[in-house]
């Protein structure tokens, strides 16, 4: 039997990126783990350039391909850039895989809202409670000053949760991200990346807070310290993503299911 030509439509029906694309982008994520873009508050490591590239991955390769590429990149980065992955395999999950998962779910919330909403709600509870209330005093953590702790932590969990629960996040944002109107497309991508990275920041920080016994005051300072940085990272990530998507749209390459080009 003669093999069917690998047309754009055939790839869209298959709904997956090629192994070569996934592997290549994973290698790129791994190499960019060597490039620091922000130091850890409290020291001990840095945020690598791999984070925004991992967030971009599901936009270019679809959710499955993007998450797989991010996992590959995280494993590579763990070996070549230990300062970016000081917790080893745990950091592969929270530094490389988590950005792809959170952004990929946000931009595909029209299809995956049954996963997105419970996961974001879990992250909201985790953000507020861990480690200062659970395990709290039993593990040597003091309770933070309230309502200050509530309000500064809400930056990371309240807005994303509201977005994904409402029709704005379940219908409008995914439609905008796939719109032919450039303004709508840019805005849809920016919102998806922003809420995804805000939620990603929660599991990325908490292991360090627990292991290094962050005092409540340092936790609040960290909330505040990253409150401008995460939106800035989202804007930069979006700015990087747009020309890549436009180039792929013009390339004539086979379509990847649920990718934004």
pLDDT category of residue 42 using cuts at 50, 70 and 90: low
> pTM of this prediction?
0.91
In a domain, 17, yes or no: yes
Contact, 240 vs 72, CB < 8 A? Answer: no
Q: pLDDT tens across 96-148, in order?
A: 999 999 999 999 999 999 999 999 999 999 999 999 999 999 999 999 999 99
Q: pLDDT tens across 184-226, in order?
A: 999 999 999 999 999 999 999 999 999 999 999 999 999 998 9
Query: Which residues, 6+ apart, have CB-to-CB distance to 142 below 8 Å?
Result: 132, 215, 216
In a domain, 1, yes or no: no
Beta bridge partners of 38: 47
Q: Which of 210, 203, 60, 190 is nearest to 120 (CA)?
A: 203
- Residue range(s) defining the domain that contains residue 221: 8-251
Is the bond into 171 cis (omega within 30 degrees of 0)?
no
Q: Rounded to an integer, what distance in angstroms lies between the CA atom of residue 208 and that of residue 211?
A: 5
In a domain, 260, yes or no: no
Neighbours of 79 (CB within 10 A): 11
In a domain, 3, yes or no: no
Give percent of the chain above pLDDT 70: 92
pLDDT category of residue 44 using cuts at 50, 70 and 90: low
Residue 40 has what pLDDT?
Answer: 67
Q: pLDDT tens across 155-172, in order?
A: 999 999 999 999 999 999
In a domain, 2, yes or no: no
Q: Rounded to an integer, what distance in angstroms lies between the CA atom of residue 261 and that of residue 259?
A: 6
Q: What is the mean pLDDT of the chain?
A: 91
Supply the DSSP symbol for 4. P
Q: How far is CA 80 from CA 32, 90, 138, 233, in A?
A: 10, 16, 37, 23
In a domain, 189, yes or no: yes
Which one has a higher pLDDT value, 87 or 38?
A: 87
Residue 6 has what pLDDT?
Answer: 45
In a domain, 238, yes or no: yes
Instruction: Provide DSSP, 144-172.
Output: PPTTHHHHHHHHHHHHHHHHHHSHIIIII
Domain count, the chain: 1
| pLDDT at residue 18 tops 50 | yes
In a domain, 256, yes or no: no
């Amino acid at each position: 039997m003669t093999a069917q030509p690998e047309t754009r439509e055939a790839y869209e029906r298959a709904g997956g990126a090629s192994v070569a694309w996934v592997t290549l982008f994973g290698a790129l994520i791994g190499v960019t783990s060597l490039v620091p873009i922000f130091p850890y508050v409290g020291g001990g490591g840095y945020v690598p350039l791999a984070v925004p590239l991992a967030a971009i991955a599901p936009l270019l390769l679809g959710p499955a391909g993007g998450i797989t590429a991010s996992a590959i990149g995280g494993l590579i980065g763990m070996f070549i850039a230990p300062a970016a992955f000081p917790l080893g395999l745990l950091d592969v999950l929270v530094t490389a895989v988590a950005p792809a998962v959170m952004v990929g779910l946000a931009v595909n919330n029209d299809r995956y809202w049954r996963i997105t909403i419970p996961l974001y709600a879990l992250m909201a509870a985790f953000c507020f409670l861990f480690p200062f209330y659970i395990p709290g005093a039993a593990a040597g953590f003091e309770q933070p000053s309230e309502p200050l702790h509530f309000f500064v932590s809400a930056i990371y969990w309240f807005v994303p949760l509201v977005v994904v629960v409402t029709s704005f996040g379940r219908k409008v944002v995914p439609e905008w991200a796939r719109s032919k109107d450039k303004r709508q497309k840019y805005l849809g991508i920016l919102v998806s990346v922003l809420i995804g990275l805000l939620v990603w920041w929660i599991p990325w920080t908490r292991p360090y807070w627990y292991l290094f016994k962050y005092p409540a005051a340092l936790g609040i300072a960290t909330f505040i310290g990253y409150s401008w940085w995460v939106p800035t990272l989202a804007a930069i990530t979006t700015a990087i993503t747009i020309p890549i998507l436009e180039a792929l749209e013009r390339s004539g390459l086979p379509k990847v299911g649920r990718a934004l080009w």
